[in-house]
Amino acid sequence: MTEHPKQPVLPGGVTLDHLAAGIVDGDRTSLARGITLVESTRSDHRRLAAELLQILLPRSGQAVRVGISGVPGVGKSTTIEQFGSNLTAQGHKVAVLAVDPSSSRSGGSILGDKTRMARLSLDENAYVRPSPSGGTLGGVAAKTRETMLLCEAAGFDVVIIETVGTGQSETAVADMVDVFVVLMLPGAGDDLQGIKKGIIERADIIAVNKSDGANERRAREAASDLQAALRILQPVSDGWTTPVLCISGLADIGLDTLWQTISDHRATLRETSGFEARRSAQQVSWMWTMIDDRLRGELRKTPQRRERLRQLEEAVRDGARAPSAAVEDMLQMIGL
Amino acid sequence: MTEHPKQPVLPGGVTLDHLAAGIVDGDRTSLARGITLVESTRSDHRRLAAELLQILLPRSGQAVRVGISGVPGVGKSTTIEQFGSNLTAQGHKVAVLAVDPSSSRSGGSILGDKTRMARLSLDENAYVRPSPSGGTLGGVAAKTRETMLLCEAAGFDVVIIETVGTGQSETAVADMVDVFVVLMLPGAGDDLQGIKKGIIERADIIAVNKSDGANERRAREAASDLQAALRILQPVSDGWTTPVLCISGLADIGLDTLWQTISDHRATLRETSGFEARRSAQQVSWMWTMIDDRLRGELRKTPQRRERLRQLEEAVRDGARAPSAAVEDMLQMIGL
């Protein structure tokens, strides 16, 4: 770490460089403090967080970034707990994060209840962090992304990002990982109920979960049907055909194959230079998402503006105001 | 039309109300003038265009909005020409628009060459308009959307929007229509080469084109394979399973079924109130897209800013600058 000349002092009396050094040393208190800074909505904290991320930039980016999605009940937590534990047993350091924009409303996030990943939470080579709460999906996703960078700087070489199986959070997670895994239930067809349109096409790997005991045959049939359907519907142009695996998070079946498939996907992407291209495109796209979010923030700066915005949005929704006319109204409001 | 008290005078010496009245009367010169206004990038024109759209709002929204996509060579123009001619023969008034963000670069748009739709171009119940040229996809799409509204106000009850079969224009078109039709070639599998990931999942209707003569059997097999694959992979939750039709634009086969299927889709959406919900969501989403576009415009206002923006984007792409740090830099640049 190079020492910066004029270091702002953080709450807690440390400088950014000290905090960064603590994170790189793998100190959990520093990591937690860094994450708190990243999750803060105060504008002075936001600037400090950006500076911290800039200092740590050369140390981040080294992890395998895995997104895991699937409808509620598909067994995401159980699978991640077992999968993560297997990886730490093999010497990996595993961070588990989440994107759940509903966590502020429901009062609890998908990973808020740590007992759901009791073993992994106690594992010294794992770090389980609940979804940041509050704000828009964009805000929640941005904080998770930045937390991922801090975890990488802290030496975690696998970052698993869980997403709730409903709504737009899947897209946000798919946009921040190297490989997007969709868990499904045995019995193709019925269980598609609840899966959002477009999610299956985003999958780099599909895993039919609960493929154990009496379910095994049904799971194999489901996997085979899915694989056949994907062969017909999926463009072959990008050098990777989404494989369909059978796993059981509960019975620890097929999780080694899952890890191997993730490695194969990575190798394939690297061969076609798809890996660097994906990462670069993600970086630029994060930047623009954050800019849009901040610029839109100008429109919401005062209670008066928020109220006017609400009215205009409602008028557009009801068809009373043309979208382009509402846009002119809004921009006039902020003097543009 | 209610008369507005202080009417700005347009180039050409007419007021907005006169222009609007001309469009509603179905006067082609007025429609063309309105479209020119909508396509203008001058900020005073933009305000006038927004006002015009607001005046015409009660007259717009009545058309069946059909998006037609497919890879180059699939026969989009031929199919639209025949399909559109059939519809005008049945008494419909058909507008054909296009979204092709590449049209400014290549010097010609997909609909620029009017000889490609020679018959429809001469049909007095049809209006064929090439893609607006220049600018970002967002800009091109915005202009096409607004042109669609003007065409509706002018009494066209079917608006067909063609999109090039590559890149992101499909998503933009799918987001502005009631029904999104993807044309495919006979021989499932091979012809998926070139189809962008995610497009098939956006399809409300798939039509295997060139299903004529010697191709007919292959087309039927392809359709049957696609239908089976869709049954396995497609969520059934929204009450509509994407049907796969066999058509031939060239031989005028199956185009009546295509129109009937579009009507069925509409009826299904209306039953589940999905129709109004889709339109409302589209309106609001257009509004935000336009706002983002305009707010981002602030960042590009001067050559200095554009240069700084280019440098920052490059630094983020190369991994030299953290996205959040680049965001802070950019917003500081415009004093936020």
Arithmetic mean of pLDDT over chain A: 87
pLDDT at A92: 98
d(CA A228, CA A23): 46
Query: Least CA distance to A301: which residue of chain B?
Result: B336
Mean pLDDT over A3-24 rounds to 80
Mean pLDDT over A186-206 rounds to 73
Mean pLDDT over B106-125 rounds to 69
| A55 and A48 Cβ atoms separated by less than 8 Å | no
Q: Which of A256-260, A331-335, B278-282, B300-304 has the highest mean pLDDT?
A: A256-260
d(CA B317, CA B261): 45
* Band of residue B312 on the pLDDT scale cut at 50, 70, 90: very high
At a CB cut-off of 8 Å and minimum separation 6, what does A126 contact? Answer: A84, A85, A88, A93, A94, A95, A96, A120
Q: pLDDT tens digit string along A284-315?
A: 999 998 899 889 988 888 999 999 999 999 99
The Cα of A114 is separated from the nearest Cα of chain B by a number of Å equal to: 29
Q: pLDDT tens digit string along B204-259?
A: 999 999 999 999 999 999 899 889 888 888 766 567 889 999 999 999 999 999 99
Q: Which of B60-74, B81-95, B292-306 has the highest mean pLDDT?
A: B81-95
Q: pLDDT tens digit string along B119-133?
A: 999 999 999 998 887
> Under an 8 A CB cutoff, do A197 and B200 touch?
no
- Chain B residues within 8 A of A325 when measuring between CB atoms: 50-51, 53-54
pLDDT at B106: 44
Arithmetic mean of pLDDT over chain B: 87
ipTM: 0.86
At a CB cut-off of 8 Å and minimum separation 6, what does A227 contact? Answer: A243, A244
- B192 interfacial to chain A (CB closer than 8 Å): yes
Largest separation between any pair of C-alpha atoms in chain B: 66
Q: How many residues does chain A have?
A: 336
| Phi, psi at A66, each rounded to 5° | -115, 125
Q: Which of B249, B195, B231, B252 is nearest to B69 (CA)?
A: B195
Mean pLDDT over A207-211 rounds to 94
Among the listed ranges A15-24, B135-144, B175-184, which one has the minimum average pLDDT value? Answer: B135-144
Q: Which of B271, B265, B269, B195 is nearest to B226 (CA)?
A: B195
- A317 interfacial to chain B (CB closer than 8 Å): yes
What pTM, to 2 d.p., does this model score?
0.87
The closest CB to that of B316, out of A146, A284, A298, belongs to A284
Q: pLDDT tens digit string along B131-145?
A: 887 777 878 888 999
Q: pLDDT tens digit string along B19-54?
A: 999 999 999 999 999 999 999 988 889 899 999 999
pLDDT at B110 over 80: no
- A41 interfacial to chain B (CB closer than 8 Å): no
d(CA A252, CA A79): 8
| A255 and A82 Cβ atoms separated by less than 8 Å | yes
d(CA B226, CA B220): 10
> Under an 8 A CB cutoff, do B197 and A235 touch?
yes
Among the listed ranges A27-41, A251-265, B113-127, B172-186, which one has the minimum average pLDDT value? Answer: B113-127
Among the listed ranges A136-140, A224-228, B227-231, which one has the minimum average pLDDT value? Answer: A136-140
* Band of residue B105 on the pLDDT scale cut at 50, 70, 90: very low
> Under an 8 A CB cutoff, do B202 and A202 touch?
no
User: How many A-B residue pairs are in contact by the CB < 8 A criterion?
Assistant: 200
pLDDT at B7: 67
pLDDT at A111: 47
Mean pLDDT over A132-136 rounds to 76
Please give the structure tokens belonging to residue B168: 């992101």
CA distances from A193 to A73, A189, B180, B334 (A): 12, 8, 22, 47
pLDDT at A108: 44
Mean pLDDT over A12-27 rounds to 92
The 3-state DSSP class for residue B272 equals: coil
The closest CB to that of A294, out of B195, B280, B327, belongs to B327
Q: Which helix (H) or strand (E) holds A261?
A: helix A255-271
Interface of A with B in 265-304 (CB under 8 A): 279-280, 283-284, 286-288, 290-292, 294-296, 298-299
Residue in A208, A233, A290 to test binding to B, most B beta-carbons within 10 Å: A233
The closest CB to that of B201, out of A201, A225, A287, belongs to A201
Bigger pLDDT: A102 vs A142: A142
At a CB cut-off of 8 Å and minimum separation 6, what does A134 contact? Answer: A41, A104, A140
